[in-house]
Each structure stands twice: as C-alpha cells, then as structure tokens.
Amino acid sequence: MPATAPISAAPSSPFAAPLAAGFADPVHDAQRAFAAVMRAMAEPGLAVPLASDLDPPAPLSREAAAVALALLDYETPVFLDGALAAAPAVAAFLRFHTGAPVVTDPAAARFVLAADGAAMPDLAALAQGEPDYPDRSATLIVQLAELGEGARVIEGPGIRGRRGFAAAPLPADFSARLAANRAAFPLGVDLILTAPGADGAGSVMGLPRTVKPVMED
C-alpha cells in the first residue's frame, strides 16, 4: 500500500482579517487595567483613568477591551450584545486572548458586554446570583461616549456622603434601574462603565450593586 500522505492545514483565506493583538505586556498591562477597575468599584461614580494601547476589532472599544482582557478567563462565560455579536472578530478576539466562552443566553453569562449604553440590557434579565452565592451574578461592561462629574447623584459604600457623576448615553430610566438593582441586594448586577478620552487615555467607572441613586422629587 502506498504511504499515506500527511494532512496539511488548509491555507488561510487571503481575505481573512488578522486577529487583533492583545496587551503588549500581558502581565503588567492586565495588572494596570485590573487596578483601575478595582479602584473604580471601590469608589463608585468616580471616573478612573484607564490607558490602553489596544486596537480591538470594532465596535469593541479599547477601554472595554482592556477591562475584558483583565477580568475574563476560561471560567467566565461572556455574552455580547447585538452590535458586538454582529462582528465575529470581536468574539474571536475575546476567545483567543481570554479563553472565555461566548454564550448566546445573557442569563448564563458572568460578564455581559454592551456596545451602546442607551440600549444596555435590562439588569433584571441578567444573572442575579444566588442567596448562598451572590457572587455568581453578572457584571455588565458598558461602552459610553463620556464619563465624568455631573448631576447624577448616588450614595453608598465607598462614597463619602454623596457623589455626582455624568455618563452618556444611558437609558432614560437608568436611575430607576439602579434603584431596583440595589433593592435586590445582596443579589444584583455590578456595572462597569467605560469611555474614551480626548487625549487617548480613557476612563472607567464602577457602579456596584451597593449603589443607591438619589431620586429627585
């Protein structure tokens, strides 16, 4: 019998886009991004600088990509909203650089990425955790156009008195959503807001489930 010829890999398509690179210095860049997120969650409503030289596939922003690469791993299923899911390169980028499985059910995800703050998913539709394991809830990472100080007022752990912040775009009923999320504590969803900066250095803001919006009369 003739010798069996070795099976060669199929040539890659000349039209296939190359996979976007991850962190240039994976350990230190991930540590810096993680530290920024941890500070943002410890001081809710504060816009914390988040520098990133990532160039992820659109419409994934470099700030959201940095947060994802710092937090996701093979044990954290991730759900992509419609805009992100419509770009296969985004899922490929996240799978390759984090190992996180991409799921189609937002309730099964530990992390949810939303490309448009105004169209963010309903917090109640995401994993809320369990009474004995509230940490089995989802974290929602949202891409926004701007973050900073402003007229949206919140209070809670990590805030001395009250703090005002600005974030846009957000749903018209965002404060009511935060209030409902807080009412479910210790269950509920943690939010991480991201935005670009004019000088190339973006920012990240944490709104954990402990945050209580100050509702105006």
Q: Pairing relation of β-strands 163-168 and 146-155?
A: antiparallel
Residue 50 pairs in a beta bridge with 202
**pLDDT score for 6:** 37
As a whole number of angstroms, the distance between CA 207 and CA 213 comes to 10
Is residue 4 domain-resident?
A: no
pTM, whole model, 2 decimals? 0.90
Asked if residue 66 belongs to a domain, the reply is yes
Its sign, for the CA torsion 74, 75, 81, 82, is positive
β-bridge partners, 58: none
- Average pLDDT per consecutive 10 residues, the chain (217 residues; last block may be shorter): 37 58 88 97 97 94 97 98 97 97 97 97 96 96 96 96 96 96 97 86 96 80
8 A C-beta contact, residue 180 and residue 124: yes
Cα three-residue angle 164-70-79, rounded to 5 degrees: 85
Which residue range is the domain that position 155 belongs to?
26-208
Please check whether residue 146 is in contact with residue 168, taking contact to mean a CB–CB distance below 8 angstroms: yes
Q: What is the pLDDT of residue 1?
A: 39
11 is a domain residue: no
Q: Specify if 149 maps to a domain.
A: yes
pLDDT given for residue 198 in this prediction: 66
